[in-house]
Copies of this chain bind each other. A is one copy, B any other.
Amino acid sequence: MVRGESKNAPSMADVAARAGVSHQTVSRVVNGSDAVRGDTRDRVLAAIEELGYRRNKSARALVTRRSGRLGLLYTQPHLYGPGTLAASVHQAGQKAGYDVILSPVPHLEATSAERAIEALLDDAVEAVLLGVSHQSFEDLVAQLAATVEVVMIHSDPPPGVRSVGIDQHAGAVLATQYLLDLGHRTIAHVAGPVGWIDARQRREGWLAALRDSDVEPGPEIFGDWSSRSGYEAGAEIARDPSVTAVFAANDSMALGVIRALHEAGRRVPQDVSVVGFDDVPDAAYLWPPLTTVRQDFASLGELAVEVATKAIADGTVETPPLLAPELVVRASAAHKPS
C-alpha cells in the first residue's frame, strides 16, 4: 500500500505531503488566502488536481461552527409556484455561497411539517425559509426564531417577523378591478381553502375591490386549489345566470371552472368571464387562454435568500416591500354581455 493515500478520500495532509508543504498552507490555498506565494500555490493546486482532493465539509463545519446551509420548507412541491420557488432559492443560495436544503412537505399536517423542521435543525441550517403560507405555521415561527434565523415567505406576516412576499391582496384587486372595468357587476369568487394566507388575501382583495366600487360580492365558493374543486365550484356557479364573471384564486381552479361552464353550455368569455391567479406556463395555451395574475416566484426566491443571508450576517429583521404581481390579459375575460 502506498502511503496513506489509498482507500479513503485524500485529506489536506495528503495534499500537503504531495506538494511538500504543511496542511495549513493547503488550507490557505483552498480558502483563497493571499498570503501564499504564487509558486507554492501552484504546487498545491497541482497536488489537489492530481489527487482529486475535495475539502471535507463536515470537518470544516465542525471547526468553524457554521454549516453554510439554508433550509427551505415548502408545501405542494408538485405545483408550479412552489417548484419554481424552490429552484430559485436553491440557485440563489448557491450563488450566495450556501448549500440549500429543500424540504418539501407533501401533505400539510402539522406533525409532518414539524418533523421536517426538526430535520432541518438537525442539519444545522443557519436559516430556515418558510415557504408555507398557512396559518398553522404562524405559531411555529415564534419558537423557531429562538433557535435559528427565520424568513417567512408570506404576504401578510405577523409583526416583527422577517419576511418576503408577493402582494396577494393587490393581485386580487387587479383581477377584480379588471372585471369591474369590463362592466361586470356580479363577480363570483372561487376561494382557496381556509387557513391559507394567500387564499385569505386574495379573497380580501376581491372584497376590497368590490367595496371600493360599491358592488355587492357575488357568490363565493371555497375550493382546495385543485382543478377538481374548481370544477365543482364552476358547476354551482353555472346554475346562477346572474353571475357574469368569476375570479378564481388560482389557475387550476380557474381551469376547472371553465370546464364546468363549458359543460353547462355557458361560453367563456362571451357569457361568463374567468380570471385566474398565478400564470402557470400552460395558462396562456388553455382554451380560452386564461387571463390571470402573474407572480414572479423566481424573484421571490432570490429576495428570500438575500434577506436570509443578511439575517445571518447581522441579525437584522428587515422586511422588504412586497413584490407586485401583474395582470396578464388574455381571452378568458371580456365585456359583460349586454
A79 and chain B: residue at smallest CB distance: B83
Distance in angstroms from A54 CB to nearest chain B CB is 6
- A142 touches B (CB below 8 Å): no
Distance in angstroms from A62 CB to nearest chain B CB is 5
A75 and chain B: residue at smallest CB distance: B87
Interface with B: A160-168, A171-179, A251-259, which one?
A251-259
From 68 to 117 in chain A, residues with beta carbon under 8 angstroms from any chain B beta carbon are 77-80, 82-84, 86-88, 90-91, 94, 99, 101-104, 106
Point out the residues of chain B lying under 8 angstroms from A84, CB to CB.
Answer: 77-78
One of B8, B82, B123, B287 near A259 (C-beta < 8 A): B287
Q: Provided the pairs A58-B62, A286-B255 are in contact, do residues A99 and B86 lie with their beta carbons within 8 angstroms? A: no
- A231 touches B (CB below 8 Å): yes
Specify which of A87, A88, A94, A226 lies most central, judged by the most chain B CB atoms within 10 Å of its CB: A87
Distance in angstroms from A284 CB to nearest chain B CB is 7
Q: Roughly how many angstroms separate A83 CA and B56 CA in the complex, as a whole number?
A: 30
Number of copies: 2
Cβ of A83 and Cβ of B90 under 8 Å apart?
Answer: no
Distance in angstroms from A223 CB to nearest chain B CB is 12
A8 and chain B: residue at smallest CB distance: B65
Q: List 24 A-B contacts (CB under 8 A).
A: A8-B65, A56-B124, A57-B122, A58-B58, A58-B59, A58-B61, A58-B62, A59-B62, A62-B62, A77-B83, A77-B87, A78-B84, A79-B83, A86-B102, A101-B101, A227-B281, A228-B285, A230-B285, A252-B281, A252-B285, A255-B286, A259-B285, A259-B286, A262-B287
User: Which A residues are closer than 8 A to B by beta carbons?
Assistant: 8, 54-59, 61-62, 65, 67, 77-80, 82-84, 86-88, 90-91, 94, 99, 101-104, 106, 119, 121-124, 226-228, 230-231, 252, 255-256, 258-259, 262-263, 281-282, 284-287, 289
